[in-house]
């Protein structure tokens, strides 16, 4: 457990500067900095005073310890969905990504395949074409993109992506505000 980092995170959540926290606890800004950088250890009394001023119960402070977030996601941890009717394969690169701010997916479109049609949403969407050619229909407009091209748009209009190649096309799509 990184006690100093957790104290710092809690202070920042409360929108307090080191100086403001110091004033409320009769500690110096320098000492708060030392605590946050694990250069000093507080007495039990000082630690409990800090938690009290930050509005955190000791049990909650220690219960908030979580494992290091997962960073690497291997192919066997990814989820795949095939839609033979529309001609696409959707691979969720981070299985639980709909709980996060971004959803990265790898899409494969068969020749003449099309990804599902999406209704308007509050999402921002980024696409990187990795194989073939695709066409984005965004409201009344269409945009063509080939290998290496990227698209970035607000999903505030109905939209759909279609394969423009005679062979398979692939792209990485990253969306915010889950709508996939």
Same domain, residue pair 51 and 79: no
* pLDDT grade for 179, boundaries at 50, 70 and 90: low
Q: Does any domain span residue 69?
A: no
Residue 119 or residue 68, greater confidence: 119
Q: In this predicted structure, what is the pLDDT of residue 96? A: 72
Q: For the chain, state the CA radius of gyration.
A: 24
Q: Does any domain span residue 117?
A: yes
Q: What is the pLDDT of residues 158-172, one digit of tens each?
A: 999 999 999 999 999
Among the listed residues 149, 153, 128, the one whose alpha carbon sits nearest the alpha carbon of residue 141: 153
Same domain, residue pair 52 and 91: no
Is residue 180 over pLDDT 60?
no
Q: Does any domain span residue 124?
A: yes
- Domain span at residue 44 reads 3-63
Same domain, residue pair 97 and 161: yes
Same domain, residue pair 86 and 46: no
CB < 8 Å & 24+ apart, contacts of 64-71:
64/6, 65/1, 65/6
Is residue 148 over pLDDT 80?
yes
Q: Does any domain span residue 130?
A: yes
- For strand 79-83 and strand 124-131, is the pairing parallel, antiparallel, or unpaired? unpaired
* pLDDT grade for 175, boundaries at 50, 70 and 90: very high
Same domain, residue pair 54 and 14: yes
CB < 8 Å & 24+ apart, contacts of 23-31:
24/53, 25/49, 25/50, 25/53
The answer to whether 174 and 137 are in contact (CB under 8 A) is: no
Q: How many domains does the chain have?
A: 2
Q: How many residues does the chain have?
A: 180
Same domain, residue pair 97 and 163: yes
Q: Does any domain span residue 68?
A: no
Q: Does any domain span residue 70?
A: no
Q: In this predicted structure, what is the pLDDT of residue 2? A: 81
- Average pLDDT of 26-33? 93
What value does the mean pLDDT of the chain take?
A: 90
CATH number at residue 51: 1.10.260.40
Same domain, residue pair 55 and 140: no
CATH number at residue 135: 2.60.120.10
Same domain, residue pair 8 and 87: no
Q: In this predicted structure, what is the pLDDT of residue 70? A: 80
Same domain, residue pair 42 and 94: no
Q: What is the pLDDT of residues 97-113, one digit of tens each?
A: 666 788 999 999 999 89
- Residue with structure tokens 């809690």? 10
If one counts every other C-beta atom within 10 angstroms of the C-beta of residue 54, the result is 17
The pTM for the full model equals: 0.63
Q: What is the pLDDT of residues 34-65, one digit of tens each?
A: 999 999 999 999 999 999 999 999 988 888 66
Same domain, residue pair 92 and 127: yes
């Amino acid at each position: 457990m990184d006690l100093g980092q957790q104290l710092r995170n809690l202070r920042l959540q409360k929108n307090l500067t080191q100086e403001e926290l110091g004033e409320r606890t009769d500690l110096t800004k320098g000492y708060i900095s030392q605590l946050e950088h694990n250069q000093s250890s507080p007495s039990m009394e000082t630690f409990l005073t800090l938690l009290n001023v930050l509005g955190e119960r000791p049990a909650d402070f220690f219960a908030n310890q979580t494992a290091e977030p997962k960073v690497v996601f291997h192919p066997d941890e990814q989820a795949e969905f095939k839609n033979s009717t529309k001609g696409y394969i959707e691979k969720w690169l981070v299985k639980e990504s709909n709980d996060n701010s971004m959803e990265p997916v790898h899409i494969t479109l068969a020749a003449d395949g099309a990804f599902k049609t999406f209704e308007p949403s509050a999402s921002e969407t980024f696409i990187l074409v990795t194989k073939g050619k695709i066409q984005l229909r965004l409201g009344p407009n269409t945009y063509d993109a080939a290998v290496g091209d990227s698209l970035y748009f607000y999903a505030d209009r109905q939209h759909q992506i279609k394969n423009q190649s005679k062979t398979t096309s692939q792209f990485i799509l990253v969306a915010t505000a889950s709508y996939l």
